[in-house]
Structure 1
Amino acid sequence: MKNKAMKCLLLVMAFAMLFTSVVVAETQTIQLMHYMGEKTKRDGLDALVKLFEEQNPGIKIEVEGVDAATYMTTYQTRMTSNDEPDFYFGKPRNMLELVLAGKFLDITDEAFLDNLLPELVEECSVDGRVFGFPMDAQVKATFYNKNLFAEHGVEVPRTLDEFIEVLDYFNSKEILPLIHGYNNVNCVFHELDAFLTAQVVVENEADLWVKAQSGDIKLAESEVMKEAMSIYAKQADYFDVGDFSLDQPTAIADFAAGKRPMFTNGGWIMGDVLVAAPEGTEFGMFPTPWSNEEENNKLWVGIDDVFLISAKTDKKDACLKFLEFLATDEAADIWMNYSKLMSSNVNAKTEDKAPYIQAIAAEIEGGNVVAKALVPDLTAEYSRSFRAMLQSFAISADKNVDEFLNDLDSELEYIRE
C-alpha cells in the first residue's frame, strides 16, 4: 500500500515538474532597445510594457535605453557580435543601409497597420515594403500660448499676411513674438522646414533637396527657394541678441514660462513645455503659413518614434503581438497621455487631450496635412553644412537671400567634389 502511495506521489511530482518546465519554456523575454531622450516618452513606454505584460503573462519585455548620439554605432556593434535585441528603434529611411541588408523584419502584410495613418506607414517603408511601426504623428508647426493670445485678443493666423500681422502686433507691444533657439542648428532648421515642406509640395518641387544635392539644379535659381528664404528671413528678424546663445532646453523653458507667445518647432518639445508651464497655461497649434491661400498652408506630419523588429529574432510572433497591442485604441490613449504627442492611430480620441493635440487631430481629420515622406532632405555632410549655414544666416544682421543661396550652391558643389 505504501509502495503504491509512493508511486502515486512520485507520479504527481513528475507531472508537476513537467508542467513547471512547460510554463518556463513558454515564457518569452523580448529585448527592446530605444534612444528616447524625453522622460515623458520613456514613462509612456514603461506604462505600455506594463499593461502588455499583464495582458500577456507568457511574455516579458526588457527595455534598454541607448545614447541617441551613438545609436547607429551601438546597433552595428550588436549586429556584428550576434547580440541583437528583438526590437530596434529609429526611422527606416535613416537606416537605409541596414534595411537593404535585410536586418529588419518586413511587416508590410500585417493587418494592424490598417489602424495607422497611411502617411506615417508610407514613411516607414523602403521600396514599397514596410519595416517600422510609428508610435505617433509628429508635427512641425507653430505652437502658441493660448492665454497670451486671449489676453491680447489675437486670432490664430491662417495665412502669411495674418501671421505677419500677429508678429507685428506683439512686436509693437514690445513682446518678441517668437522663441528662437538659435544656439541649436536643429531649431534653426525646424523653423524653415515647418513651412518649406508644404511649400515645395504645393509648388511641385518636392525633390528640390535631392536635385540640389546631386547638382541637377541651382538653389539660387529656384524661385521657390528664394521665396521661402525671404519668408524665413522675415520671421528671423523678430529676435533678441540673446537668441544667438539660446539652447533648446532654455528655449522650451522660456516658452513654457510665457516669455514669448509662439515657438515654431517640432511637437516633441511639448511634453517638456507642459511639465514646466504654470498651472492653467494652455497651448495651441497652427500650421506655419507661407501662403495667402489658406489651403496651401498644410501641417507638416511625419514619423518620430518608430519600432523595428530584428530579422534575426526567434520571437517573431511575440514581437508582432506587441506591435498589434500598440496599434490598439487603448495603447494609443496611454501613449498620448504620457508622451503628450498625437498618436499614429487613426481612431485616436482627443476630446480630453491638450488643445494643441486637438488642433493637430482637426488638421489630420480635415486632410490639411503634408507628409514629410514626400520631401527627402539633404543627407549626411550636405545636411550638416546646410544647417550650419542656415544658422549663420539666421543670426546675421544682413540676411541677403541671393548671397546665401549662391554660397549654399557652392558648398554643395564642394562636398560633391
Structure 2
Amino acid sequence: MTQHSSVPLTGQGPGRRKVVGGLFGLSAAALAVPVLSACGGGPGADPKTVTFGSNGADATPKKAYEAVTKAFTQDSGLTVKTNTVDHDTFQNSITSYLQGTPDDVFTWFAGYRMQYFAKKGLASPVDDVWDVIGDGFSDAAKQLSRGHDGKYYFVPLYNYPWAVFYRKSLFRERGYEVPRTWDEFIALAKRMKKDGLSPVTSGYGGGDSWSVLGAFDYLDLRANGYDFHMQLMRGEVSWTDRRALRVLDLWRELTPYYQSGGAGRPWQDAAQSLIDKKSGMAVIGLFVGQQITDEAIRADIDFFAFPEIDRAHGQDAVEAPTDGFMLSRKPKNEDAAKKFLEFLGGARAEELYMGVDPSNLAAGEQADTSAYNALQTKSAELVNSARHISQFADRDSDPGFIGTVVLPGLVEWLGHPDDGSSVLKKIESQRSRFFTA
C-alpha cells in the first residue's frame, strides 16, 4: 500500500512557501524536492501502451501493482509502462508533474486532495468509467470520488484504518486490558512505563512527520466530534478556539508516555519497536503490517479503536484514508487509459492487490474478502461500523496549510509540549492565506 499520508506542497507557489516556511524555520532549500517526471507519452505514443505514474515504490506495493498490471495486460493486450517514484518525491512534485506531460493514469488520494486537482483542471473526469464500475461501490465511496462539479475524477482501490495497535501476547503476558476510555488509556500507559516499556512508540523523523497527524486527528475527533474536526480542517473555525486548545491539553497528557527520540526515528523503526515488544502500543495505520514477514507475529498483532474522550462523540469516527487513481488532463491514450481504470476499479484488481499487500482493505463491495487475515477482517468491521470516516488531516484540509504551517508547528510543539497557545496562534495567523471566506 501507499504506506502513509505524506504531506505535499500541493498548489502552493514559491512565495507562499517562503512566507509560511519561515514561520517555523523552514527554508526554501529545506522544502526542495526532486522532480517527478513522466515516463513516456507525447505525439506518436504507442496506442497499445498506457503510462502509469505510481507512488508505490516500497517493495510490497510495488509487487502488488506489478501483479495488477500483469493481469490487465493479459486480459486486454495493452501494455502498462509503470513510472514508479518514491512516495514523498511523488507527493512533493505532483503539481509540476501534472502541469507538464504526466502519465496517463496516476496514483492519488480521495476527497479534498482529488478535488483540488479536479478544480484546477489538472485531471480529467471519468464518468464513463463509473458507468461501468459504479455498481461495485458504496455511496460513501462514490462521494469520495466526485469533484465539486459532481463529476467523477477518482477510482478507489483500497482504504486502511488507523487505530491503536498492540501485540496480544504482550498484553496477555503482562495482564494488560484493552482500554475503552481516555482515563483507562492513560492508566495503562502509566503501568507500561512502570513495567519498563515505552508505552506508545513514536517515529516521525526521516520525512515521516506526517505520522503525528494520526494522533492529532483522533484527539480532535474524540474530544470535539467529527463536525468540529472537519470545520477546523476546512479553515472555517479559528485554531485558537478553546476546543483546539483542548486537543493539545490532552496530547500533552499523553506525551510523557511516548517513546523517546521520535523526531529522529522513521515510522518503520517505531513499528519495529512494537513488533519487538519494546513498546506497548502504536497509534498507526493498518500498514504496520508491512513490517511483518513472520506470519506468527502477524497473527499476534491486534488493535483497538482510539479511546473515547467525550461520551457525546464516543468512538463513532474512524480515520480511514482511501487511495486510488486519477486520469491526467490530456492522456496520450485516453481510450486505453480508461480501459485500465475500469480494470483497476473492478473486484479482480482489488483481489490481486490485496493478495500481495494484506495491509489494506478493498474499497469495492464486490471483492472477495474470504482470504482476508484476521487483522484485515477486524479492520473492515471497524470501518464498516463507523458513523463518520475521516481521511487524514492532509487529505481533509488544504495540504499546503497542513504541510507548511500545521505540521511543522505540531512537530515543534511536541519537542517541548506546553499549553499550546503559542503554536496555535502561529497556525491561526496563517489560516487566511489558505482559506477565503
Aligned partners of 1:219 and 1:245: how far apart in 2?
Answer: 27
After the TM superposition, which residues 242-321 of structure 1 pair with which residues of structure 2 at under 5 Å, given as runs? Answer: 242-271=261-290, 273-275=291-293, 279=297, 282-293=300-311, 296-313=314-331, 315-321=333-339
Normalising by structure 1, what TM-score?
Answer: 0.79
Normalising by structure 2, what TM-score?
Answer: 0.76
Aligned partners of 1:249 and 1:121: how far apart in 2?
Answer: 32
After the TM superposition, which residues 115-264 of structure 1 pair with which residues of structure 2 at under 5 Å, given as runs? Answer: 115-127=136-148, 128-183=150-205, 184-197=208-221, 199-202=223-226, 204=228, 206-211=230-235, 217-222=237-242, 224-264=243-283
Q: Which has the larger radius of gyration?
A: 1
TM-aligned CA distance change 1:218 to 1:317, over 3 Å: closer
- Residue 87 of structure 1, aligned match among 100, 105, 110: 105
Determine whether 1:103 maps to 2:103: no
TM-aligned CA distance change 1:46 to 1:261, over 3 Å: same
Greater per-residue helix proportion = 1
SS at match of 2:235: helix
SS at match of 1:288: coil
Aligned partners of 1:206 and 1:195: how far apart in 2?
Answer: 13
2:353 corresponds in structure 1 to 335
Contact 2:245 2:419 in 1 (8 A): no
Contact 1:181 1:244 in 2 (8 A): yes
Aligned partners of 2:90 and 2:104: how far apart in 1?
Answer: 15
**What letter corresponds to residue 156 of structure 1 in structure 2?**
V
2:341 corresponds in structure 1 to 323
Contact 1:219 1:405 in 2 (8 A): yes
Aligned partners of 2:253 and 2:360: how far apart in 1?
Answer: 29
Aligned partners of 2:264 and 2:133: how far apart in 1?
Answer: 45
**What letter corresponds to residue 361 of structure 2 in structure 1?**
M
Question: CA offsets, 1:93-137, max 9 Å, x none?
Answer: 336564234332312342413323443432332212220112111
**What letter corresponds to residue 134 of structure 1 in structure 2?**
P
Aligned partners of 2:421 and 2:94: how far apart in 1?
Answer: 42
SS at match of 1:125: coil
Moved over 6 A (4+): 413-416
- Residue 53 of structure 1, aligned match among 61, 69, 73: 73
Contact 2:320 2:383 in 1 (8 A): no
**Alignment RMSD:** 3.4
Contact 1:115 1:346 in 2 (8 A): yes
2:36 corresponds in structure 1 to none
TM-aligned CA distance change 1:204 to 1:153, over 3 Å: same
After the TM superposition, which residues 359-374 of structure 1 pair with which residues of structure 2 at under 5 Å, given as runs? Answer: 359-372=378-391
TM-aligned CA distance change 1:204 to 1:189, over 3 Å: closer
Query: Structure 1: 5+ residue runs without aligned partners?
Result: 1-24
TM-aligned CA distance change 1:48 to 1:115, over 3 Å: same
Aligned partners of 2:259 and 2:234: how far apart in 1?
Answer: 34
- Per mean C-alpha deviation after superposition, the further-off stretch among 285-294 and 340-349 is 285-294
Contact 1:31 1:64 in 2 (8 A): yes
TM-aligned CA distance change 1:380 to 1:324, over 3 Å: same
TM-aligned CA distance change 1:240 to 1:198, over 3 Å: closer
Aligned partners of 1:377 and 1:28: how far apart in 2?
Answer: 38
TM-aligned CA distance change 1:270 to 1:199, over 3 Å: farther
- By how many angstroms is 1:348 displaced? 4.0
Contact 1:283 1:355 in 2 (8 A): no
- Per mean C-alpha deviation after superposition, the further-off stretch among 182-191 and 294-303 is 294-303
Contact 2:104 2:337 in 1 (8 A): yes
Contact 2:193 2:199 in 1 (8 A): yes
SS at match of 2:166: strand
Determine whether 1:384 maps to 2:408: no
**What letter corresponds to residue 155 of structure 2 in structure 1?**
F
- By how many angstroms is 1:342 displaced? 1.3
TM-aligned CA distance change 1:209 to 1:295, over 3 Å: closer
Aligned partners of 1:310 and 1:414: how far apart in 2?
Answer: 28
Aligned partners of 2:405 and 2:171: how far apart in 1?
Answer: 37
Contact 1:350 1:361 in 2 (8 A): no
1:43 corresponds in structure 2 to 63
Aligned partners of 1:414 and 1:125: how far apart in 2?
Answer: 26
Aligned partners of 1:251 and 1:96: how far apart in 2?
Answer: 33
**What letter corresponds to residue 328 of structure 2 in structure 1?**
S
Aligned partners of 2:380 and 2:61: how far apart in 1?
Answer: 19
TM-aligned CA distance change 1:117 to 1:181, over 3 Å: farther
Contact 2:198 2:257 in 1 (8 A): yes
Aligned partners of 1:237 and 1:120: how far apart in 2?
Answer: 38
Aligned partners of 1:411 and 1:315: how far apart in 2?
Answer: 42
Identity of counterpart residues, as a percentage? 17
1:11 corresponds in structure 2 to none
Aligned partners of 1:235 and 1:178: how far apart in 2?
Answer: 9
